[in-house]
């Protein structure tokens, strides 16, 4: 079958000139043809994500059109404004895919609101809500390497699409021939017919205002003298992040020059993920040269942010997503109590794989902490439930350990723009009282205990990768772990069992050990990886790290 599909593509007059040479180049190479055509990219709640190129298992204009036709078929059953918001980041062909998306929607009689330049994930979520859209589409592959692109689909609340809606869209995609099944008109035609319109300046200004309204200590930054080095990692964060920071009074911003402007090849960091050192290396070097108080980097679609904080000896230390989640929660709680802006019965939300240190902090401040499945849509779902009860003001903060944060209900996905603002405000505040982020973090550890959180990922590439991952999870269920590294498992939770967890079914296994350590194992939802999340606690960092290494060594044979 895949050979026939390959030949069909080869014989079709393809509109994207980049695809034909690639198809010709693999002629006769069964392995390469199979890799591109034996399967199709699967549309789920995270949309699509794949390597750029020709074929059903690649990201190209035909896969985008097919997915959009499926989305359009769903939108047409939804009533409402019959409008979809579209945005895109700096990745290769992101602007092309965004216009293709708009063209298919317009051809189906659906109104489109598209940004006139690249804008990040939170701006797409905001526009979806601002224009009362039925759906939103963000063209991005988040922090994946340059060869990837993707297609994120959002529901009317600005949150990533629900399982039920995604299943309908997937069914509609299956009915749509990839090369001929999608209705399509050119972007120019859609504009001429009034079906495609750009997001207004009013929308952008409302987005910025919604963020700036969430300052904890308004006006503080103007006189704090914070010195910042910032890298947008060649992505979409440059304009919105600097706009907001300038508005709140942070003007001493040095941009990492080689990572300043959009560049989908990410030539200075092959993996533009602010979770990893290599992506922050150029920024760290510049921070040391400039003597900055803080170095900050946002990923290409500006929904995640990573930082390096200055230490008393002048060196810089990376802050993990768990540590920043704990720091921001602590800062927001203390600041809002001080300012009298803490709501009654406040709620914070985090993913269940994120640090239990945040639970301890929430408890200290009298905040209810809700733990949800991995994926920011579940944090968005908690906000929706509050909104339905007219209690959305109770939500003060949400985060996940993979560097995603949100304060406020104006969007329903993680937002590196507001996170950047709050991190800079927090740094300014501690600087103004003769302290620092580093000092406050040490105080938190002294108060609550020395937690250590580490995530290990094991990759399973190729067509057999997913099968191997499934086999590992099945084996763990059929032969439950009784101990890890000689330490007894005192509690095991299978998140597929909704009756015991009260949460939607998820392919996640959690183990609590006799010494208080915790291990969570789950396959990634977007990449061919199994992730193991370790939480250990010791009298100091060295003891906690040693305990983690002991557990990881014990589990290593399972993943081989």
Rounded CA gap, 465 and 456, in Å? 17
> What pLDDT score does 526 carry?
66
Looking at residue 64, its pLDDT comes to 98
- The whole-angstrom separation of Cα 310 and Cα 509 is 37
What's the rounded Cα separation, in Å, for the pair 138 and 114?
A: 10
CA distance 361 to 338: 16
Identify which of 65, 18, 9, 19 has the alpha carbon closest to the alpha carbon of residue 185. 65
Angle between helices 416-432 and 321-339 (to 10 degrees): 70
Single out the residue of 47, 46, 105 nearest to residue 72, CA to CA: 105
Q: Which pLDDT belongs to residue 46?
A: 82
The reply to whether 142 belongs to the active site is: yes
Q: How many CB atoms lie within 10 A of CB 145?
A: 13
Dihedral (CA of 361, 284, 149, 240) sign: positive
Distance of alpha carbon 547 from alpha carbon 550, whole angstroms: 5
Indicate the SS3 state at residue 86.
strand
Cα(527)–Cα(275) distance, integer angstroms: 16
**Cα 373 to Cα 150: distance, rounded to the nearest angstrom:** 22
Distance CA 560, CA 557 (A): 5
Length of the chain equals: 560
Sign for the CA dihedral angle at 167, 171, 145, 118 comes to negative
Sheet with 316-319: list strands edge to edge. 253-255, 228-231, 294-298, 305-310, 316-319
pLDDT for 15 equals 94
The residues pairing with 305 across neighbouring beta strands, listed in sequence order, are: 298
pLDDT score, position 527: 75
Tokens 């960092």 label which residue?
Answer: 541
Q: What is the CA radius of gyration of the chain?
A: 24
Specify whether the CB–CB gap between 348 and 400 falls below 8 A.
no
Distance CA 245, CA 247 (A): 5
pLDDT of residue 36: 96
Distance CA 426, CA 332 (A): 9
* Contacts for 275 with CB less than 8 Å, ≥ 6 apart: 143, 304, 306, 321, 402, 403
What would the 3-class secondary structure string for 389-412 be?
CCCHHHEEEEEECCCEEECCCCCC
Active-site hit among 125, 142, 231, 282: 142
Could you give the CA distance from residue 473 to residue 506 in angstroms, rounded to a whole number? 12
Residue 292 CB coordination number (10 Å): 23
Each residue's pLDDT tens digit in the chain (560 positions)?
899 999 999 999 999 999 999 999 999 999 999 999 999 999 987 899 999 999 999 999 999 999 999 999 999 999 999 999 999 999 999 999 999 999 999 999 999 999 999 999 999 999 999 999 999 999 999 989 999 999 999 999 999 998 899 999 999 999 999 999 999 999 999 999 999 999 999 999 999 999 999 999 999 999 999 999 999 999 999 999 999 999 999 999 999 999 999 999 999 988 999 999 999 999 999 999 999 999 999 999 999 999 999 999 999 999 999 999 999 999 999 999 999 999 999 999 999 999 999 999 999 999 999 999 999 999 999 999 999 999 999 999 999 999 999 999 999 999 999 999 999 999 999 999 999 999 999 999 999 999 999 999 999 987 788 889 999 999 999 999 999 999 999 999 999 999 888 899 999 999 999 998 999 999 986 678 999 999 999 989 999 999 999 999 999 999 98
- At residue 358, the pLDDT reads 96
For the record, the structure tokens of 62 come out as: 């035909």
| pLDDT for 44 | 83
CA distance 20 to 295: 44
> CA 462 to CA 441: how far, in whole Å?
41
Token duo for residue 327: 């720091």
| Cβ(404)–Cβ(421) below 8 Å | no
CA 436 to chain centre: 27
How many other CB atoms are found less than 10 A from the CB of residue 272?
A: 31
């Amino acid at each position: 079958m895949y050979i026939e599909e390959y030949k069909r593509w080869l014989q079709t007059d393809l509109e994207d000139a980049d695809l034909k040479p690639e198809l010709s180049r693999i002629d006769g190479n069964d392995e390469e043809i199979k890799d591109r055509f034996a399967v199709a990219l699967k549309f789920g709640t995270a949309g699509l994500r794949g390597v750029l190129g020709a074929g059903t298992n690649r990201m190209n204009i035909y896969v985008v059109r097919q997915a959009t036709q499926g989305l359009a078929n769903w939108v047409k059953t939804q009533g409402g404004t019959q409008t979809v918001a579209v945005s895109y980041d700096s990745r290769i062909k992101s602007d092309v895919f965004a216009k293709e998306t708009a063209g298919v929607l317009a051809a189906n009689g659906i109104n489109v609101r598209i940004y006139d330049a690249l804008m990040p994930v939170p701006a797409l979520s905001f526009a979806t809500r601002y224009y009362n859209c039925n759906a939103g589409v963000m063209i991005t592959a988040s922090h994946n390497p340059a060869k990837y692109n993707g297609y994120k689909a959002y529901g009317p609340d600005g949150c990533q699409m629900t399982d039920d809606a995604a299943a309908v869209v997937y069914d509609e995609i299956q009915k749509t021939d990839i090369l001929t099944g999608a209705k399509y008109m050119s972007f120019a035609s859609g504009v001429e017919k009034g079906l495609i319109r750009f997001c207004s300046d009013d929308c952008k200004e409302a987005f910025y205002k919604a963020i700036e309204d969430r300052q904890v200590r308004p006006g503080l930054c103007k006189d704090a003298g914070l010195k910042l080095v910032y890298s947008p990692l060649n992505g979409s964060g440059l304009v919105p992040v600097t706009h907001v920071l300038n508005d709140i009074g942070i003007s001493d911003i040095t941009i990492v020059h080689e990572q300043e402007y959009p560049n989908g090849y990410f030539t200075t960091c092959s993996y533009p993920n602010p979770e990893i050192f290599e992506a922050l290396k150029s920024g760290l070097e510049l921070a040391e040269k400039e003597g900055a108080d803080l170095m900050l980097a946002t990923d290409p679609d500006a929904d995640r942010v990573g930082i390096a904080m200055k230490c008393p000896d002048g060196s810089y230390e990376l802050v993990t997503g768990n540590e920043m989640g704990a720091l921001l929660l602590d800062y927001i709680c203390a600041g809002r109590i001080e300012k009298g802006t803490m709501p009654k019965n406040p709620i914070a939300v985090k993913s269940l794989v994120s640090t239990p240190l945040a639970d301890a902090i929430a408890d200290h401040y009298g905040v209810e902490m809700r733990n949800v499945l991995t994926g920011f849509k579940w944090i968005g779902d908690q906000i929706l439930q509050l909104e339905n009860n007219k209690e959305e003001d109770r939500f003060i903060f949400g985060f996940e350990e993979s560097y995603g944060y949100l304060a406020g209900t104006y969007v329903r996905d993680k937002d590196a723009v507001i996170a950047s603002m709050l991190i800079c405000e927090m740094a300014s505040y501690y600087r103004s009282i003769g302290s620092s982020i580093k000092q406050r973090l040490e105080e938190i550890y002294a108060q609550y205990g020395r937690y250590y959180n580490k995530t290990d990922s094991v990759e399973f590439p190729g067509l057999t990768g997913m099968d191997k991952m499934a086999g590992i999870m099945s084996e763990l269920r059929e032969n439950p772990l009784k101990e890890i590294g000689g330490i007894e498992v005192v509690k095991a939770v299978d998140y597929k069992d909704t009756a015991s967890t009260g949460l939607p079914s998820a392919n996640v296994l959690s183990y609590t050990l006799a010494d208080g350590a915790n291990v969570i194992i789950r396959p990634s939802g977007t990449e061919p990886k199994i992730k193991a999340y370790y939480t250990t606690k010791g009298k100091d960092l060295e003891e906690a790290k040693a305990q983690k290494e002991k557990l990881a060594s014990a589990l290593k044979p399972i993943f081989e």
